[in-house]
Structure 1
Amino acid sequence: MLTWPPRSLPSVKVLITIGLFITMLWNLKYVLNLSDIFSRAPRHTKPLMILVWEWPSKQAPNISTDVCRDLYNIMDCWLTMDRRLYSLADVVVFHHDTLQKNRDKLPKEKPPGQNWLWVSLESPTNTKALAGWKQTFNWVMTYRQDSDIFMPYGKLVPNRSAMVNIPNKTSLVTWVISNYHRSQKRAAVYRNLSRYLHVDIYGKANKKPLCKDCLLPTTSKSKFYLAFENSIHRDYITEKVWRNSLMAGTVPVVLGPPRANYEQFVPADSFIHVDDFQSLAELATFLKTMNASRYRQFFAWQKRYSVKLYVDWRERICMICTKYASLRQGHVYPDLESWFKA
């Protein structure tokens, strides 16, 4: 039989102990990052499953193992190309080049909580068939800095070498070009620039293709490299700067977005912009008459940085897991074409 007041009440020491224990738990929320216990916001407690609808490159690698952990030290991130696991996938990745060829084969329904990611490293000029993609994709991963997942062709990462390495030079200007179209701005700039100086041209366009391991040794022998983009768009700065120029140890002469945009990626004194000169004749004179001391200044960035290239699609896709927690949940792009061509 219950009586009031109770025959025995908790002692003051017990109450104090309970109070201290609750306070300790509350503090641990911050100290140990146990906010999941105290928050109603849903969070993943299982590994993320990333389904790649079709592999972006021609040859798909083996991703049956835990490649994100083994190759890039990214934990709890599982990649698969097995479409039978579609209903279990947290994110489904669609690469535009393969997507536009098989758009009728997309799933008709999306499981609750699943997000679709549109991926493209091409510029808007070279990205076709965007008009039909409305209210389809939750996130985008591109070279644009305003993407949900920003994926540049390369970047500078801090190093501690404090050394400058300039390969021996045997030529003035080199250009490697595979797809040459006279209508492109870079073709017109080259034709006019070549009136004032000689350019060594390699690549399929000049019937001088370079083997995979021959590219950097070839461009490194040149003082300057024509890092001319095939089209001009914001943030569109490709391997022509990162690999063919900076990594090779030559100075990029760039044609692309404005200088200020390049300076968001690389130091202002590491490249030459075509727009810096009133004429191509003036640019040619600048290149031909540069002394050794002035030339060496273009490599000051090497004392602080080294080049990091993104060339493996496994790394790019694994990075989705590192960004997942900060991505906008429930967001859908109303018109992908309008966003990408803005």
Structure 2
Amino acid sequence: MKNPGHGPTRRLRAWVGAAGAILLMALWLLWLLGSAPGGVPVPQPKITVLVWHWPFTDRSPELPGDTCTRYGMPYCRLTTDRSLLARADAVVFHHRELQTQRSRLPLAQRPRGQPWVWASMESPSHTHGLGRLGGIFNWVLSYRRDSDIFTPYGRLEPHPGPAPPLPVKSGMAAWVVSNFQERQQRVRLYRQLAPHLQVDVFGRANRRPLCAACLLPTVARYRFYLAFENSLHQDYITEKFWRNALAAGTVPVVLGPPRATYEAFVPPGAFVHVDDFRSARELAAFLRGMNESRYGSFLAWRDRLQVRLLSDWRERFCAICARYPHLPRDQVYEDLEGWFQA
């Protein structure tokens, strides 16, 4: 005589076995999709970056939870809430506030093993007080390409449509400058250049200030822009090159790092470097004598590329999360001054 429970029991066991196999298969497929290029991304844990003090202001901007999502880093959270010091994955300090003593390092409250980031976009000539910061910071955020978190002032990226038209070029060369000191190399070069080239100078130094919205339209009417850095240092290429010249649609005449450094960022035919000429007079003759065809070749990059300005500190700080998984936790800048001033 058959036991009436054997049939259902066998069917239940078979169903459970099949369901388990299906579940294992589903988990395996999800793992494959998450591991394969182009598959479903494996969720990343949220990285919290505490900004100890916001650059150049006593009032921090609002930082919604999705602040870094707009920069392609949804797994990153920025906060200025100092009560989160013990739980933050990394803490970033902007040097100007440390330099001016407007903010101090919470050394006594620092959690063991927490990475601290030193951040600055200023040149070594305008950076002081690094000697007392040795042995504190693990990572550096700056414009230098050898930084742990490399954040340039700008970059070129592809654009989908045609380049916007440029206004008629009615002037030869423009220069916007506020900090005008005779000891600066850029001022000495300007003095040598001015007798041989018409240069219209704007800014507080010449009592011809330009409003923020007026700068690019004004510069766009000139053939050349003097993108002269206020000090010459490794990789130091600022908004004078990216915004005032390239974004305005004029050809930059650059005084800064060597030509090879600029060529790491833009095509070699997108700028004129002063180092390529034996004298300011020779440089002026080259600029004055340039025909339309030759001049147009300096702007050819605009047919396929556009300028992306990277001036928002929120984007710079979010970049810490992108590099976070790849940076050594045990690294320490014992001689931060020696590294940055080299």
TM-score range, shorter chain: 0.7 to 0.9
Report the secondary structure of 1:137's partner residue.
coil
Measure how far apart 1:223 and its partner are. Answer: 0.5
Structure 1 residue 68: Cα displacement: 2.0
- 1:107-166 Cα deviation digits (max 9, x unpaired): 124213421100000111111111111110010000000100000000001123354733
1:54 is aligned to: 53
Match of residue 296 from structure 1: 296
Runs (5+) with no aligned partner, structure 1: 1-17, 35-42
Q: What is the distance in 1 between the residues matched to 2:247 and 2:58?
A: 26
| Distance in 2 (alpha carbons) for counterparts of 1:305 and 1:54 | 35
| Distance in 2 of aligned mates of 1:201 and 1:84 | 48
The residue matched to 2:35 in structure 1 has which SS?
coil
- 1:226 counterpart letter in structure 2: L
Which residue of 1 is the match for residue 94 of structure 2?
Answer: 95
Count of residues in correspondence between the two structures:
320
Moved more, 97-106 or 233-242: 97-106
Q: Give 2:65's aligned residue.
A: 66
**Cα drift, residue 69 of structure 1:** 4.4
Query: Which letter does structure 2 place at the counterpart of 1:55?
Result: W
Percent of paired sites with the same residue: 50
Measure how far apart 1:19 and its partner are. Answer: 11
Residue 97 of structure 1 aligns to a residue whose secondary structure is: helix
Counterpart secondary structure, 1:32: helix
Residue 317 of structure 2 is aligned to residue 312 of structure 1: no
Amino acid at match of 1:66: G
Deviations 1:228-271 (A, max 9, x none): 00111111111111000011010000001111111001110000
Quote the Cα distance in structure 2 between the aligned partners of 1:183 and 1:44.
55
Distance 1:333 1:158, change over 3 A: same
CA distance in 1, matches of 2:77, 2:162: 38
Contact 1:91/1:115 (CA < 8 Å) preserved in 2? yes
Q: Provide the C-alpha distance between the structure 1 equivalents of 2:312 and 2:340, rounded to a whole number of angstroms.
A: 23
Residue type of the alignment partner of 2:52: W
Confirm or deny: 8 A CA contact 1:116 1:137 kept in the other structure. Answer: yes
Q: Is the 8 A contact 1:233 1:257 kept in 2?
A: yes
Q: Which residue in 2 is equivalent to 1:269?
A: 269
Q: 1:316 and 1:295, CA in 2 relative to 1: closer, same or farther beyond 3 A?
A: same
Question: Aligned equivalents of 1:69 and 1:118: distance in 2?
Answer: 20
Distance of 2:318 and 2:126 partners within structure 1? 25
- Deviation of 1:51 (Å): 1.1
RMSD of equivalent CA atoms: 2.7
Tell me what 1:6 maps to: none
Q: Which residue of 2 aligns with 1:33?
A: 35
Aligned to 2:15: none
Equivalent residues of 2:175, 2:201 under 8 A apart? yes
Alignment of 1:191-230 (within 5 A): 191-230=191-230
Seen in structure 2, the aligned counterparts of structure 1 residues 46 and 26 have a Cα distance that, compared at 3 Å, is closer
Quote the offset at 1:215 in angstroms. Answer: 0.6
How far has the Cα of 1:101 moved from its partner? 2.3
Letter in 2 for 1:332: V
1:283-322 residue CA offsets vs partner (Å, 9 max, x unmatched)? 1111112111111111111122100001211111112112
TM-score (structure 2 length as normaliser) = 0.86
TM-score (norm 1): 0.86
